[in-house]
Structure 1
Amino acid sequence: MDNLLAILLLLLLGWFWLDSLRAREIAIGVCVAACKQRQLQFLDQAVALRRLGLAWRSEGVRIRRAYRFEFSEEGVGRQSGYVVMRGLSVEELSFGLPTDVGDA
């Protein structure tokens, strides 16, 4: 019984590791595309995991990961943004930049 539990634990750990790699790659792709769309420079070509937790929604329990990334507006200075992944889908993306408000 102990061997079965150890194998199950190793399989669960392997699944979590692969799922985390997949979520990180998707987050990087989202950040690269969003920076390109806004004409920003995505720095370091990486995201850093800042928070890990569980999210309960109507579709079930999902792993919620918050990643921080850095970008530059004109190649000068570094600013931070974040992307929140729920499972393998993007829940939120923020650059922390002021939005252009049209003349109202």
Structure 2
Amino acid sequence: MEPWAILSLVVLAWVWHGSMRAREIACAEARVICHRMAWAWLDETVSLKSLGFARDGHGRLRLRRIYAFRYLEATHLIREGVVMLVGDQIQTVLLDTARLDA
């Protein structure tokens, strides 16, 4: 196998592994917030809404991932929340119009 093909597979596996870890972190945060607020977390999953680059707190360029999740609040309205990660750190959580900074 060609060296460039092997390198491409390694990079692809590295990105995939990082994406799965980020998704797990976003799911855990959505679960905690819904439990804390006594909301029902619909589908118990998150979906990737945006992927880009951002600088972390140390100025390093990292992948920025934005995940969305849906929840049912006490008034029985279905709402959407968003978890933004820079690298594997939670940067911001948005709940419709409410904002909670990590």
Q: TM-score, normalised by structure 1?
A: 0.85
DSSP-derived class of the 2:44 partner? coil
**Identity of counterpart residues, as a percentage?**
32
Residue matched to 1:3 = 2
DSSP-derived class of the 2:2 partner? helix
Residue 11 and residue 94 in structure 1: after superposition, are their counterparts in 2 closer, same or farther (change >3 A)?
same
Greater Rg by CA: 1
Report runs of 4+ in structure 1 exceeding 6 Å deviation: none
Does the CA contact (< 8 Å) of 2:55 and 2:86 recur in 1? no
Pairing 1:66–2:71 present = no
Task: For residue 66 of structure 1, report the CA deviation from its aligned partner.
Answer: 0.3
Matched letter for residue 53 of structure 2:
L
1:47-77 per-position Cα deviation (integer Å, ceiling 9, x unaligned): 0100000113434111100011100113723
Q: TM-score, normalised by structure 2?
A: 0.87
| Aligned residue pairs, count | 98
Pairing 1:76–2:73 present = no
Residue matched to 2:27 = 28
Aligned partners of 1:15, 1:98: CA distance in 2, in Å? 34
Unaligned runs of 5+ in 2: none
1:4-58 per-position Cα deviation (integer Å, ceiling 9, x unaligned): 1111111000010011001001100011001111111111000010000011343
Residue matched to 1:19 = 18
Calculate the aligned-residue CA RMSD, in Å: 1.8
Residue matched to 2:38 = 39
Unaligned runs of 5+ in 1: 100-104
Aligned partners of 1:75, 1:16: CA distance in 2, in Å? 40
Residue matched to 1:94 = 94
Residue 12 and residue 92 in structure 1: after superposition, are their counterparts in 2 closer, same or farther (change >3 A)?
same
Normalized per residue, the structure richer in strand is: 2
Residue 98 and residue 56 in structure 1: after superposition, are their counterparts in 2 closer, same or farther (change >3 A)?
closer
